[in-house]
Amino acid sequence: MDTIDITANGETFSIPPGQSLADFLNKLEFDPGMVVVERNGGPVSPSETGSLRLGAGDRLEIVQIVAGG
């Protein structure tokens, strides 16, 4: 099976071509509704998470939202 490489938070990952951002986040055990994601320097809207397909060389910054009390 072919894979592509992307970088997330400074770490390189090999993933299937066309994997959705939501699937990638789930693989990393992030709740897609509880993170803020930047892709290649631009923000990703939460509504795009399920439909956005990752491509070779994409660079992601993922920040988990933490509720405090």
Q: Is the pLDDT of residue 25 over 90?
A: yes
Residue 54 lies in a domain: yes
Spatial contact of 39 and 7, defined as CB atoms under 8 Å apart: no
Average pLDDT score over the chain: 94
Residue 69 lies in a domain: no
Strand 59-64 to strand 4-8: parallel, antiparallel, or no bridges (unpaired)?
parallel
* Whole-prediction pTM: 0.90
Own/partner long-range contacts of 43-48 (Cβ < 8 Å, ≥24 apart):
48/21
Q: Which domain, by its residues, includes 24? A: 4-64
Distance from C-alpha of 63 to C-alpha of 51, rounded to nearest angstrom: 19
Residue 45 lies in a domain: yes
Residue 19 lies in a domain: yes
Total structural domains in the chain?
1
* CATH number of the domain enclosing 42: 3.10.20.30
Distance from C-alpha of 57 to C-alpha of 47, rounded to nearest angstrom: 22
Q: Is the pLDDT of residue 9 over 90?
A: yes
CA-based nearest residue to 22, from 46, 41, 57: 46
- Calculate what percentage of the chain has a pLDDT beyond 70: 96
Q: Taking residues 3-14, what's their average pLDDT?
A: 98
pLDDT tier at 67, thresholds 50, 70, 90: confident
